[in-house]
Structure 1
Amino acid sequence: MEKPAELGEFLRTRRARLQPSAVGLTSYGARRVPGLRREELAQLAGVSVAYYTRLEQGQSQNASDDVLDAIARALQLSDDETMHLRNLARPTRRKRRPAGKPETARPATKQLIEAIDGIAAVVMDRRSDVLAWNDLGHQLLAGHYEADSPYSAETRPNLTRMLFLDPHTRELYARWDEEAKRSVASLRLIAGRHPNDLHLAEVIGELSMKSTEFAELWSRHPVVNCTFGTKQFQHPVVGQLELSFEVAQLPDDSAHRILMYSAQPGTPSEAALRLLLAGTHELDSSTRP
């Protein structure tokens, strides 16, 4: 992913969604493309048309915070989109490097998620590769995978790849379209932060080739930092669940995250999670020698 091209595409998608009348401008003449023209956006942001054009074409990589904030206001960007704009507009000094040693979850992190009662927990890297999960996290999201699959780079699941390419995962989400949009929007934000991540680029490339749905969503340049909310599941074992989710960033430089799912106390969803966890314990007991 080349930042200049990404920046230009992002800005063009945001211009296209704004009509002149929505920002107090009068439209003159026929428009070949929807939304604001470059000169109209430049006028709103208080910069020259030539400067904005260079920025959109990737020829100006040292825009000040004031200029970027002015463009963000003119485009009516959200906080997440403004952060993404800054990431894309900043020059990258580091060269892309080949993938190094496979990442692993710290033992203390695995110990933490295994100690959490009644909550499905998954440790992910920034690419959404699963590095570890507790019993409930495994059974909720990927019971058709081996329990130890996260602990090898050759077998570990990737949640985004599963969402678009694994039919079992597609059936798991009662609102798959909503989950797909949320996943791509989060991935866009991460890709803007880590443009030199070769493995991340490979995941995006694979999904773009193998999933027309992913490719179409990716082309829209959605950007949202999805760290909490509610999801609906249609689990093959315990049926319907409505679960709250939270994503916690680990306080180090690993970019590892813990995704946690919980149910409101006293609800059928809480009972379903307990039933699912009891089933994993029974399975563990039955397979012991």
Structure 2
Amino acid sequence: MNKADMSAGAVLGEFLRSRRARLSPQDAGIVSYGARRVPGLRREELAQLAGISATYYTRLEQGHSVNASESVLDAIARALGLDDDERTHLHDLAKPAGAGRRRPARPDTARASTVRLIEAMTDVPALILGRRTEVLAWNRLGHALLGGHYDFTAPGQPADRPNLARMLFLDSHTRELYARWDEEAARAVASLRLVAGRYRDDRALADLVGELTLKSDDFARLWARHPVHTCQSGRKWFRHPEVGDLDLEFEVLHLPDDTGHRIQTYTALPGTASDAALRLLAHSLPSGANELSTPRSATRRPERPEGSAARR
């Protein structure tokens, strides 16, 4: 992705145009006269609905004006009929890159205590994701469900670390894993769009988007629509090569810090065929094989109490 695409004005303008195009004059209560060359409202119509000058809105959409006030952004959001996720995305895009965001000191390392937490979930597939959808750690069942064709210790090696978005669009095994791939792909892009707006100064994230845009026509098509959605929970349908069909509910738990790390878990309704299949997958794992999927050397060791010394 080139620098122009990642500039605040260009991305903001792209988002505004995509939302203006989907709003018809009838939806906005505007009487339309004559044929329209493009779908949606005209810029001056949107500006009138928002109560701002057409000149200012045009400059905003063309990327020539940044740092719009919150009141102006809220007025535009109301005029466009944006939902909560889209409204948040609009405000993120209008901020200077990095405004109010601190770079995490160690963004690529999951905390050892968080890894131990998902290890304790022996009957629940679980993984720790970075903000770029990279797998920082997974427990044995999470690995068996989502990435059995990857080495279990791969999350501990940054060069070989699995990435759920990359797997979804570029890995044929993962594509076959999702019984409703189109639905999963749309959800993944909408979530990644939201994160990309929040962390516009993240070069690695921009590189990931650029790679997927170049290598996957499906990703490029979905990305161009500028979908935005927070994926906190829902259902995923799998066609697992070992245990067959699985209908699982997922939950995303965001860690209360500035790393962007999150825990993702998968569960089945008790007594269902999916529950039985998930139990079968768990029973197929080697007994006692629940070691860390990240190197122990990469985790912080407890500090020795002050004044203590090793006995010789």
Shorter-chain TM range is over 0.9
- Of structures 1 and 2, the one scoring higher in RCO (CA 8 A, sep 6+) is 2
Letter in 2 for 1:184: V
2:261 matched to 1:256? yes
The aligned residue for residue 139 of structure 1 is 144
Structure 1 residue 283: Cα displacement:
9.5
Letter in 2 for 1:80: D
Change (3 A) 1:257 1:99: closer
Asked whether the 8 Å contact 2:131–2:260 carries over to 1, the reply is: yes
The aligned residue for residue 211 of structure 1 is 216
Asked whether the 8 Å contact 1:55–1:61 carries over to 2, the reply is: yes
Structure 1 residue 92: Cα displacement:
2.6
Structure 1 residue 131: Cα displacement:
0.4
Matches of 2:97 and 2:152, distance apart in 1: 39
The aligned residue for residue 246 of structure 1 is 251
Change (3 A) 1:176 1:116: same
The aligned residue for residue 184 of structure 2 is 179
Which of 273, 277, 290 does residue 272 from structure 1 map onto? 277
Asked whether the 8 Å contact 1:99–1:198 carries over to 2, the reply is: no
- Structure 2: gaps (5+ residues): 1-5, 291-312
Between the aligned residues of both structures, percent identity stands at: 62
Structure 1 residue 104: Cα displacement:
1.1
Structure 1 residue 30: Cα displacement:
2.0
Matches of 1:26 and 1:75, distance apart in 2: 17
The aligned residue for residue 117 of structure 1 is 122
Asked whether the 8 Å contact 1:185–1:221 carries over to 2, the reply is: yes
Matches of 1:75 and 1:253, distance apart in 2: 31
> What is the RMSD of the two structures over their aligned residues, measured on CA atoms?
1.8
The aligned residue for residue 25 of structure 1 is 30
Structure 1 residue 119: Cα displacement:
1.1
The aligned residue for residue 44 of structure 1 is 49
Q: Deviations over 1:170-190 (max 9, x none)?
A: 001010000000000000000
- Count how many residue pairs are aligned between Structure 1 and Structure 2: 282
Q: Deviations over 1:225-244 (max 9, x none)?
A: 01100111100000001000
TM-score by structure 1 length? 0.94
Larger radius of gyration: 2
Structure 1 residue 253: Cα displacement:
1.6
Matches of 1:10 and 1:152, distance apart in 2: 36
2:96 matched to 1:91? yes
Q: Deviations over 1:128-174 (max 9, x none)?
A: 00000001100000000011011000111000000000000000101
Matches of 1:251 and 1:257, distance apart in 2: 9
- Structure 1: gaps (5+ residues): none
Letter in 1 for 2:276: A
Which range moves more in the overlay, 6-15 or 98-107? Answer: 98-107
Letter in 1 for 2:9: P
Which of 60, 64, 67 does residue 69 from structure 2 map onto? 64
Q: Deviations over 1:21-57 (max 9, x none)?
A: 1110011122121101000100111111011111112
Find runs of 4+ consecutive structure 1 residues off by over 3 angstroms: 98-102, 282-285
